[in-house]
A = this chain, B = another copy of it.
Amino acid sequence: MPDENGAHDSQLLKGVLSMALLRLLAECESYGYELVGRLHELGLKQIHEGSVYPALSRLEREGSVTARLVSSNSGPARKYYRPSPAGYASLAECEVAWTTLVRALEPILSRPVPRRPQEART
């Protein structure tokens, strides 16, 4: 089946991408091109370079990550990012917000959808 939910996901992804990137960078210093691959492996196939590079730039501008250029022998120089202390703090906050959201949605999503919605009480 084709990814018709791709369009939907694009909205769900908002705000999640930064968190995911920050989290991956906390795990292991990395660069944009590789991060795209790592996200794809996680199953987030619909994330493209055009989302990741701007997101990384934002994180750097915000001071959440620091970058260093490392020349490569398999192409142009790679820009390796790693979280700053502020980035770790931001990540922690973001994870709290995410967990809170997931927990808030759980009670309604876990219940099976009723066959017919109940009529409103007047």
Residues of A within 8 A of B (CB): 4-5, 8-16, 19-20, 23-30, 42-44, 70, 80, 82-83, 88, 91-98, 100-105, 107-109, 111, 113-114, 117-120, 122
- Between A82, A104, A117, A118, the greatest number of chain B beta carbons within 10 A of the residue's beta carbon is seen for A117
- Beyond A5-B97, A12-B15, A16-B101, 9 additional pairs, beta carbon < 8 A: A5-B100, A10-B15, A13-B14, A16-B105, A43-B103, A44-B104, A82-B117, A83-B117, A92-B113
Which residue of the partner chain, among B29, B82, B97, B103, contacts A9 with CB atoms under 8 Å? B97
- The number of times this chain is found in the oligomer is 2
23 A-B contact pairs sorted by A residue (CB < 8 Å): A5-B93, A5-B94, A5-B97, A8-B97, A9-B15, A9-B97, A9-B101, A10-B15, A11-B15, A12-B15, A12-B16, A12-B101, A13-B15, A13-B101, A14-B15, A16-B101, A23-B113, A26-B113, A27-B108, A28-B118, A29-B120, A44-B101, A80-B120
